[in-house]
Structures are given as structure tokens and as C-alpha cells.
Amino acid sequence: LAVEIFIESVFDVVHKGAHYVLSPSEVWQKLFWWIHGNRVGNSSPAVDVPTANIGSDNPVPTERKTVYRHALNTDSRTCEDVITELGYPFQAIKVVTSDGYVLLLERIPSWVSNGVVGSPAFAAYDQGYDVFLGNLRGLVSREHMDKNLSSSKYWKYSVNEHGTKDMPAIIEEIHKIKTSELGSSQNLIGEEMEDQNDDIKNSEIQTSEEDVTKNQPYKLCAVCHSLGGAVMLMYVVTSRIAQKPHRLSRLVLLSPAGFHEDSNVVFSLVEKIILFVGPVLAPLVPGLYIPTRFFRMLLNKLARDFHNYPALGGLVQTLMGYVVGGDSSNWVGVLGLPHYNMDDMPGVSFHVVLHLAQIKRAKRFQMYDYGSTAANMEAYGTPKPLDLGAHYSLIDIPMDLVAGQRDRVISPTMVKKHYKLMRKAGVEVSYNEFEYAHLDFTFSHREELLSYVMSRLALAADAGKGRIKQTTVRLRKPKRVQSEIEKDRAMEYRGADEEIPGEPNGHRK
């Protein structure tokens, strides 16, 4: 710790020295005021900036703009700090998955990348929605019930676990909270537990998601971006296969992942490298993350310096844009967000990257390929991984798909592929495009997108008057697929660049 503090201090001195060398006019100004006895202070006054909150009859609240100065030009604030400073309530909830991962579920609201104006999370809250954010494993919370779990075992998960373990745990925790708060938890949960204890003895069973959602004292919508969209689709499909309620009323998917064959040369090259070295590299580098606070601080500092020096930041932005095929997203700016601070930075499992490479090669939205027929048979009951796109007919809720015309990470053609498969399967689905790059959906101030998302959420509230018919299905499931998914789900139901606004009975609180 002493060495780290010493390095930080030296870094700070060098940084200030370089700044004064590059800015001689500022040095002369400071000397002038010092000679005249009026030294320039370091503090900056707070500035009241008028902002508009969606849902206000007279939208003239003020946001106090606070200037933070930290050593080395870093920002150690967390998402909670940003939210509470703006006067919004915040609640952190720990959720445990069936395989022991501890996830952070944050309530009203959490991951907000652009302040009050233009943020769907704040806008939904101002409209009377109860807003949750579910963090997948490897992101903000990197905890596990087994304190002795090795790093290689912790990071041994793919998108499968996000969709079949993380999301069920998060959704069930929200269900538990809402039913408890709305006064019907005892009867509703008790009846469901009795139904779930009746094991599925036959390979054919009839169920209706409508019966479950009709009895819920709330409506739950999910707004997801990029990988979060693929995770939510996997959750809905596997829940239907396992004959478990997904509890959702509507999905709004912003540039969802799942199909990736139409991509640039860089991504194609990365795909081939990952697939070639994957079996060797996975045990050696199980997780992609920044391990120490010092290096996280260094990245945070670089991101803020790029912002403070527009010429340098513009150069880095251009280079990063070329790396991702010309996508014009603010790649430098996103690194300065609160969830990329010195204490918490997102990490990703190598198996998640490998899973995405497999999807790109297979040209279909599939679950993780374990690499052998025997392993896939054990997991899915079939020699090949489960094709999720082929099961879109099981989706029984309205879907809203949104693509970015300037998105070079997930092109509009790939979002349209989701749309065409859903239309062919009889899903009630809409498709829309905005002139956005990939990160514009969550990072930029976009009033038109905000209005669109809020209008789609309002449709879920109106569905109480004329409920959209949700199909009753009768399907055959491979026994091994059935047993694996049901085993995971059963454990969740014991109370175990994505926002999940819920609304009781379509009425705002």
C-alpha cells in the first residue's frame, strides 16, 4: 500500500509538472496573482443547471453540478454516489444464484450513464415506475458464496449462465420484493411453490404463461442493450422450455446480440483467433479484467485525461473507432462512467467471449458449445447446442427490437434477423431503427429514443385493459435439457453497451 501511495504521489507531481510545461500562460497567470497577493483558489463554485425530468407538469427542477477533484485527476465515485447526489433513492440488494454467485440488484435506479436528462432509468422512475438494474456475474459484484473458490472456477461461465442462472435469480428476487410489498406474497408464492413441487413426470405438459402473469400484482418490462438483449431472450426461451414462468410482460431490446455473422474484418479476425487458441487460453486467462486498484486507477485517469485534452482524446477515439469497424460511439467517454471507477470495473469471462465467437461461426443464436458430442448430449440432450432462434415460437410476450443505422458492432441486418425469425414464429414483434452507433443507445442524450422506450413501456400498462393473448403450448423436451434447466430453476424459486421497470397492475404508484 505504501509503494502504491508513493507511486501515485510521484505520478501526481509529474502530471502537474507536465501540465505547467504545456501551459506556460497558466503559469504566468498564477505567478501574477501570487505576486499581487490574490492566489487563485482550487475550489470551483457549484453551478445550478436547469434540467427537465420526464413526467413533471412543470419541469424546472435544478441539478446541483458538483465539481470533483481527486488526486491524479481520477474519479472514485460509484453509481450509488451519482444517484444519491441527484436526490434519487437507492437500494442495493444481494441476490444469490443457484450456483452460488452473489449478484448485485440495484433499485431506483442504478446504472445511469448520462445524468438526469435523457436517462431512461430516471425517466421511468419519474413516470411512476419501480426501476431495477440487474448486474450479471463478473460485473459490479464479483462475490461468491464459496470464499475459497479459485479464480479459474469463478470465471468458468458463458452466456448460458447469464441467461439460465443470473436472470432467473434476479427476476425471482424482484418478484419476491413486489409481491411482498403489494401484500399478496404469502398466497401467491405459496400456491406457486405447491405447483412447482409437483414434478414433471411426463415429457408432454400443458402450461399457460398468461395464467401466471394474470395473477401477478404487477407488470414487469425489461429494457436491455447489446449482450443484455441476448441474455434476456435466452432467459425467456429456456424458461418456456422448462415450463417455468418468466414473469415478463414486454421486452424492449436495443441492438440485441445473438447474431453476428455480418460484421467487419476485425471482428472476423478476432473470432478466428479466439476459436483457434480458445482451448489453450481459457485455462490460462479465465477472466478478462483489470486485477489491481492501481491499474484500474491508471485506466480511469487516462480516460479522464483523454476527456480533458480533446486533441488527444479525439485521436484515441478515432483509433478505437477504426478497431471496431468505424463505429462512431463515444468509446473514450464511456470509460469515464462511474461504473469504470477505481474500486469496481466490469470483467468478462473468456468463455463469454468464446461463446460469442461460436455464435458468429455457427451463424445462429445458440447456447454454448462444450466442444464434444458427449458434453453437448449431457447438457442439452442433442449433439449440437440448443438453437434458441429455432424456439422463438415459444416467446409469448410482445417484443420491440431497435437497431442503430450507424452501429458497426451489431449491424441492423443482425437485428432484422431476430425480427424475421420472430415474425415467422408468430411472435408479436415490432422493429425500429435510429441513426445511432452502438453505445448511443445508453450513453448519449437521445430524446427520441427516450420517448420511444417510454411509449413501449406504456403499452404494457395498457395491456391490462385488453391483455395480449399468450399462447398455451404443448411441447416435447429432451429429458436431459428438461432436467438440467428445471434443476437450476427450482433452486431459484426458493426466493432467490442493460433496466427493468415494473408497474403494479398497470397503475403508477
Residue 97 reports pLDDT greater than 70: yes
Residue 312 reports pLDDT greater than 50: yes
Picking from 139-143, 224-228, 497-501, which range would have the lowest pLDDT averaged per residue?
Answer: 497-501
How far apart CA 472 and CA 470 sit, in angstroms, is 7
214, 268: one domain: yes
pLDDT at residue number 241: 96
Residue 111 reports pLDDT greater than 50: no
248, 112: one domain: yes
pLDDT at residue number 142: 83
Residue with the larger pLDDT of the pair 76 and 322: 322
pLDDT band at 234 (very low <50, low <70, confident <90, very high): very high
403, 470: one domain: yes
Contact indicator for 419, 259 with CB cutoff of 8 Å? no
29, 71: one domain: no
Query: Does 397 reside within a domain?
Result: yes
149, 32: one domain: no
How far apart CA 405 and CA 457 sit, in angstroms, is 23
Q: What is the mean pLDDT of residues 118-130?
A: 69
- Count of domains for the chain: 2
Query: Does 51 reside within a domain?
Result: no
pLDDT band at 450 (very low <50, low <70, confident <90, very high): confident
Residue 239 reports pLDDT greater than 50: yes
Hey, how many other C-beta atoms are within 10 angstroms of the C-beta on 494? 12
Q: What is the mean pLDDT of residues 361-387?
A: 96
24, 134: one domain: no
Picking from 2-16, 174-188, 253-267, which range would have the lowest pLDDT averaged per residue?
Answer: 2-16
Nearest to 397 by CA among 218, 219, 215: 219
What is the overall mean pLDDT for the chain?
Answer: 76
pLDDT at residue number 372: 94
How far apart CA 194 and CA 217 sit, in angstroms, is 19
Query: Does 311 reside within a domain?
Result: no
Question: What is the tens place of the pLDDT at every residue in 56-95?
Answer: 333 333 333 444 445 555 555 566 666 666 666 677 889 9
pLDDT at residue number 125: 66
Picking from 59-63, 257-261, 504-508, which range would have the lowest pLDDT averaged per residue?
Answer: 59-63
Model's pTM, two decimal places? 0.73
29, 104: one domain: no
Query: Does 47 reside within a domain?
Result: no
Query: Does 309 reside within a domain?
Result: no
How far apart CA 65 and CA 45 sit, in angstroms, is 9
Residue with the larger pLDDT of the pair 439 and 231: 231
93, 33: one domain: no
Domain of 459, CATH number, reads 3.40.50.1820
Query: Does 308 reside within a domain?
Result: no
Query: Does 175 reside within a domain?
Result: yes
Question: What is the tens place of the pLDDT at every residue in 333-357?
Answer: 776 665 566 666 778 999 999 999 9
Query: Does 54 reside within a domain?
Result: no
pLDDT at residue number 124: 73
What does each C-alpha distance from 146 to 101, 172, 279 come to in angstroms?
Answer: 9, 22, 26
How far apart CA 332 and CA 315 sit, in angstroms, is 10
Answer positive or negative: Cα dihedral of 412, 413, 416, 418. negative
Residue with the larger pLDDT of the pair 327 and 377: 377
Residue 497 reports pLDDT greater than 50: no
219, 114: one domain: yes
Instruction: State the residue range of the domain holding 19.
Output: 2-41
Picking from 286-295, 305-314, 363-372, 384-393, which range would have the lowest pLDDT averaged per residue?
Answer: 305-314
